[in-house]
Amino acid sequence: MAEKILLKGNEAIAISAIRNGIDGYFGYPITPQSEVMETLMKERPWLTTGMVVLQAESETSSINMVYGGAASGKKVMTSSSSPGISLMCEGISYLAGAELPCVIVDCQRGGPGLGTIQPSQSDYNQVVKGGGHGDYRNIVLAPASAQDMYDFVDLGFDLAFRYRNPVVILADGIVGQMMEKVELRPEKPRRSQEEVISDAPWAAVGKPSSRERNIITSLSLEADVQEKFNHKLQEKYDLIQEKEVRYETYRVEDAEYLFVAFGCSSRICEAATDLLREEGYKVGMLRPVTLFPFPAKVVSDMADKVRSMMSIELNLGQMVDDVRLAANGKCPVGFYGRQGGNIFTPDEIAEAFKKFNNFE
């Protein structure tokens, strides 16, 4: 039987990185995610797997270390929280432009500005819509548990290398800080240099005489070349949209009303769904696991069946735009959210549901 241990979500990221044979982690301290680097430093994986762990001088530097490591074909990652992710957006745009695989964990806190160190989901627009300059997308995974945190590291690298694209694990202060049972999946060793080259023949890590030189760049000054490259990126994003949508549903079979919620909000919405079911309201919940690609078709299909939908988020209305686009006017779409580090209770959500649907 697989071993289960009690871990914080942030610790699960670190333990998973070591156990999944990740080559390097580069980070900078910021609340509420500092346990990721603290755990790695305590575990000292450079003595066991050979994984490199480095505390950089800034988030700007850590994301550019990720760029350099990824450009040499290695599995490299970083983690931060909202203000740090803002700083990283330049680097993330370069990673997307150079088509480099990496995993970035955003353990969200409230903004704007220095905001608060309390949990939030207000980086949805920044992370899901890109964040940096240019027409690019991140693949975005939204964990709702410490187990998701553990599992999404490996899944993230799998997707990142399959599509040569940055993957963001969009967590939040709750998922990062919450302690839960985590099943440790079978370990994966770090890849040999031969395997690295075979996975990433494009890697710039020394030119043997057998091939042309590899150049990792996002620069092309010719308009037609740059336009063509952007169309190629869009084709990749279309393919990701077609193949990689992940979501979970809860009590939707006979649902007349739907909650849409991601990450920690989906956990609270489950309880709100149960509460409302007990009161006789046929409510279900859709939890997008991938935020890009967004499960737009599922929302659209549900919009044909339900009387209304509500997007429930720890922000003042970001994912709701995508829900509305997908529902495309086929049913009313409402919103309820909290801000500033406040977290809604199931009762509060149930009340908002009744208000929106004029049940009171």
Site of interaction with another protein (CB under 8 A): 23-24, 26, 52, 54, 56-58, 60-62, 64-69, 71-72, 74, 76, 90-91, 94, 98, 203-209, 213-219
Cα–Cα dist 245/213, whole Å: 36
Instruction: Pick the closer one to another protein by CB: 61 or 342.
Output: 61
Question: What is the separation of C-alpha 321 from the centre of its chain, rounded to a whole number of angstroms?
Answer: 18
Instruction: Pick the closer one to another protein by CB: 24 or 176.
Output: 24
Residue 69 Cβ, how far from another protein at the closest point, in Å? 4
Residue 275 Cβ, how far from another protein at the closest point, in Å? 49
Instruction: Pick the closer one to another protein by CB: 51 or 299.
Output: 51
Instruction: Pick the closer one to another protein by CB: 53 or 153.
Output: 53
Instruction: Pick the closer one to another protein by CB: 52 or 325.
Output: 52
Residue 4 Cβ, how far from another protein at the closest point, in Å? 32
Instruction: Pick the closer one to another protein by CB: 205 or 245.
Output: 205
* Long-range contacts (CB closer than 8 Å, 24 or more residues apart) made by 228-233: 230/135, 233/96, 233/99, 233/135, 233/136
Cβ burial, residue 48 (10 Å; 0-12/13-18/19+): exposed
Residue 315 Cβ, how far from another protein at the closest point, in Å? 29
Give the H or E element holding residue 43: helix 35-43
Residue 23 Cβ, how far from another protein at the closest point, in Å? 6
Instruction: Give the three-class secondary structure for 27.
Output: strand
Residue 41 Cβ, how far from another protein at the closest point, in Å? 15
Dihedral (CA of 137, 138, 139, 142) sign: negative
Instruction: Pick the closer one to another protein by CB: 218 or 300.
Output: 218
CA angle 227, 229, 234 (to 5 degrees): 95
Cα–Cα dist 19/190, whole Å: 9
Question: What is the separation of C-alpha 273 from the centre of its chain, rounded to a whole number of angstroms?
Answer: 24
Instruction: Pick the closer one to another protein by CB: 162 or 191.
Output: 191
Residue 214 Cβ, how far from another protein at the closest point, in Å? 5
Cα–Cα dist 70/204, whole Å: 9
Burial 275-285 (b: 16+ CB within 10 A, else e): bbeeeebbbbb
The structure tokens listed for 264 are 């920690």
Residue 36 Cβ, how far from another protein at the closest point, in Å? 17
Cα–Cα dist 125/119, whole Å: 16
**Region of 50 on the Ramachandran plot (φ > 0 left; ψ -120 to 50 alpha; else beta):** left
